[in-house]
Structure 1
Amino acid sequence: MEDRYAFLAEWYDPTASLLRRYQLFFFPRDGSVEMFDVKNQRIFLRRTRYEDLNQEDLFVGNRVNVFSRQLHLVDYGDQYTANQLGSRKERTLALIKPDMVNRVGDVLERICSSKLLVTNAKMTTLSWKQAADFYVEHQSKPSSNLVQFASSGPVVALELMGDEAVSVWRTLLGPADSSAARKEAPLSVRAQFGTDSLKNVGHGSESLAAAARELEFFFPSTAGHGPANTAVYGDCTCCIIKPHALAEGLSGKILNSISEAGFHISALQMVRQSLQSPPETPRVYRGFLSQMMVRELSSGPCMVLEVQGAVQSFRRFCGPADPEVARHLRPASLRALYGDDRVKNGVHCTDLPEDGLLEVQYFFRILDG
């Protein structure tokens, strides 16, 4: 029989204010999909080819866009799918420490090359108590030096998903002492970027149970109860790394390009946009052309940045909206380097000076609230 993968998927219908459930079927032979309405017991979408959904997108917990509906995959639809796609899938926490936050792009590039997927991200600053509470989970008496360092500046928490993610990330990190890492695992992240056993780039969950606890600490299931984001809401502009760029593994390169150009990223957060946006949505998302952009932004997770500096200078750095034009006029701009077309053009940036604060507030205050 032909291979077919099945998932239980949820979609929030804003018109009816209902959470609708479907069985989503994916046929890898030709990339086609089919949807079955669970409540009404009828076919909702007959088998149709859909090029924007790939097998690597299919895992429990992910959100996928199928013909303008953002579906949350909440469970496997049958045992065959669970055995084929889910047996080795794990989630783990990667915590980037203060010594490496300015070079988080380098870490993201290494994560991408290891076939792990970043499914959530947040820049935050831990208080002394928060840092102590976090580390007490795997050290009964965390050292004051460790707690002080972890709370000394911003950190970036990443949720990683992939086959055997816990061990893959810990192997990628290398030995805890950076000096030992340079001898034992010279290609590891700590060997390349770490200083010692304290300033050693990052932290990785020790087990699946620890990963579940630590991910809940940074990305709690109850909104508003995790560590706060680091947005400062002053002298800022907004940048969004679009879903296609994240899917293509370009987030690390884009972050590195922004830093190398002299811009400071003061806040970072992964968000998932809905096609039905609240009334507070900035006016940049309104209008006919903007609807195509909103559709792209709703097709998967985005990485939103608060960037310090003038809106105009960062907009020049992003380049013209059309990447082909950008490659002729500003070949070193972000859209020239990472854009595909006018909609999938790598990044969104604030256009007007008066919109910089509004857009940052929308993503880091309203959506995060």
Structure 2
Amino acid sequence: MALNDINNDGARYAFICTWHDPMTDITWRYQFMYHTNDQSIEMYDIKNQKTFLKRVAYPAITLEQLYIGSTILVYTRQLLIEDYGDEFTRKHLRGLQETTCAMIKPDAICNAGKILECITRNGLLIKHMRMCQLSRKQAEEFYNVHQGKPFYESLIQLISNGPVIAMELVGENALCRWRLLLGPTSTEVARIKAPSSIRAQFGTDTTMNACHGSDSHENARIETLFFFRCWNMGMSARFRNCTLCIIRPHAVMSGCAGAILDRILCQFDVTAMELTQFSRHAAADFLAVYQGICPDFCSMTHELASGDFIILEIVDKENPCSNPVNKFREFCGPADSCIARALRPRSLRAEFGINKVKNAVHCTDIPDDGELEVGYMFTHQWEGR
């Protein structure tokens, strides 16, 4: 049974979640229940053995978001899903929430937006994502299994010669589905046998074939650990002559991130990228400049903490030594998406935003703040606060 088929099966799925209270430094554990027939939730306090949240409709959460390692926002509490809550849930969902490692190679970075669209369109979720600049030694470590093969040297040169985008994908039969989306290793063969595959569309040859996919569950585990064992693995951010873009949680959740990235890459270079998330406290800290000034501050904070978002370091493609803040802000359009659609219909916020709070993207407002915001985000300065 596919995940889409069980969304309306009337079942109740249970998970073990934790919430860290920043005020008391206490971690609370809950059994979180999700009912598919009406998208309602309920929570049980494990320590105190009592109901914490009575059953209530909560359409902001979908079954697709509920997998081990996922973070969900329930009202003001950011819950980390640590395990399945009962054997029924484990039996029915474990096989539908498989993970695998994927990588966009340097030759396909310009098509990263289209590749992300392909991933989300085919029902796979991105659990982790990071742009990395691998050294030759790191490339050799990653492709150690191919050492001694005829294509090894050209492969190492390619992977260490430009940025890659590493991802952990989650979904039903994720490993095989991702490899099916990729198509045959040879781009020439892919164009004949699987013309709609990623390698057929965006690859050049057997080495420059757009993307990598794990070939076994064990290798998927090893490769995922390679890329995501520490936050600064292969740091690619330049921290100069740059500005920050955040693709907001609502845009990521709705599957628009790939299309937004594709639009950006047409006019700007993206030199760093990461999928991350904020606690409510971290979101308020980042947006503190708007507190007391913007009447939507609380709503903006809630939106930014509502799920995964993508941070991008943006550089002017035509003049990489210039300050791109003003140019990119114009590209994004007015902060209110309704106004953007009237005044700047081709801007990002006009095309992908909903309103002033859910306006698709955050961009740096002040020219002097571009490098500051990029440094804050890509060095994870909010963690531990």
Q: Judge same fold: TM > 0.5, yes or no.
A: yes
Equivalent position of 2:6 in the other structure: none
- Cα deviation for residue 282 of structure 1 reads 6.0
Matching of residue 290 in structure 1 with residue 297 in structure 2: yes
Match of 2:18 among 10, 31, 40: 10
CA distance in 2, matches of 1:274, 1:150: 34
- Cα deviation for residue 39 of structure 1 reads 1.1
Matching of residue 77 in structure 1 with residue 85 in structure 2: yes
CA distance in 2, matches of 1:25, 1:279: 28
CA distance in 2, matches of 1:71, 1:158: 22
Matching of residue 22 in structure 1 with residue 27 in structure 2: no
Q: Deviations over 1:335-360 (max 9, x none)?
A: 00001111111111111112211111
CA contact 1:23–1:38 (8 Å) conserved in 2: yes
CA distance in 2, matches of 1:236, 1:291: 28
Match of 1:318 among 320, 332, 355: 332
- Cα deviation for residue 47 of structure 1 reads 1.1
Matches within 5 A, 1:88-127: 88-127=96-135
Q: Deviations over 1:213-235 (max 9, x none)?
A: 00000011xx45x5232111111
Matches within 5 A, 1:173-184: 173-184=182-193
Match of 1:265 among 263, 270, 273: 270
**TM-score, length of structure 1 as denominator length:** 0.94
Matching of residue 44 in structure 1 with residue 43 in structure 2: no
CA contact 2:111–2:202 (8 Å) conserved in 1: no
Matching of residue 276 in structure 1 with residue 281 in structure 2: yes
Aligned length, in residue pairs: 364
CA contact 2:19–2:29 (8 Å) conserved in 1: yes
Q: Deviations over 1:296-351 (max 9, x none)?
A: 11110000001014211111111111111100100000000001111111111111
Query: How large is the RMSD of aligned CA atoms in angstroms?
Result: 1.8
CA distance in 1, matches of 2:227, 2:220: 11
- Cα deviation for residue 293 of structure 1 reads 1.3
- Cα deviation for residue 368 of structure 1 reads 8.5
Equivalent position of 2:234 in the other structure: 228
Matches within 5 A, 1:190-209: 190-209=199-218
Equivalent position of 2:252 in the other structure: 246
Residues 301 and 328 (structure 1 numbering): CA distance in 2 closer, same or farther, change over 3 Å? same
CA distance in 2, matches of 1:159, 1:123: 12
- Cα deviation for residue 362 of structure 1 reads 1.0
CA distance in 2, matches of 1:298, 1:279: 9
Structure 1 runs of 4+ with >6 Å offset? none
Deviates more, 1:138-147 or 1:297-306: 138-147
Equivalent position of 2:62 in the other structure: 54
CA contact 1:120–1:270 (8 Å) conserved in 2: yes
Match of 1:130 among 131, 134, 138: 138
CA contact 2:282–2:382 (8 Å) conserved in 1: no
CA distance in 2, matches of 1:239, 1:276: 20
CA distance in 2, matches of 1:289, 1:357: 25
Match of 2:356 among 342, 345, 369: 342
Name structure 2 gaps, 5 residues minimum.
1-8, 317-323
Residues 172 and 82 (structure 1 numbering): CA distance in 2 closer, same or farther, change over 3 Å? same
Q: Aligned partner of 2:375: which letter?
A: Q
- Cα deviation for residue 86 of structure 1 reads 2.0
- Cα deviation for residue 141 of structure 1 reads 3.4
SS at match of 2:281: coil
Residues 294 and 278 (structure 1 numbering): CA distance in 2 closer, same or farther, change over 3 Å? closer
SS at match of 2:161: coil
Q: Percent identity?
A: 43
Equivalent position of 2:344 in the other structure: 330
Equivalent position of 1:217 in the other structure: 226
Q: Deviations over 1:190-232 (max 9, x none)?
A: 0111110010001000111111100000011xx45x5232111
CA distance in 1, matches of 2:344, 2:265: 18
SS at match of 1:61: coil
Match of 2:306 among 292, 295, 299: 299
CA contact 2:185–2:209 (8 Å) conserved in 1: yes
CA contact 1:25–1:34 (8 Å) conserved in 2: yes
SS at match of 2:271: strand
Name structure 1 gaps, 5 residues minimum.
none
- Cα deviation for residue 76 of structure 1 reads 0.6
CA contact 1:93–1:214 (8 Å) conserved in 2: yes
- Cα deviation for residue 106 of structure 1 reads 1.0
- Cα deviation for residue 71 of structure 1 reads 0.8
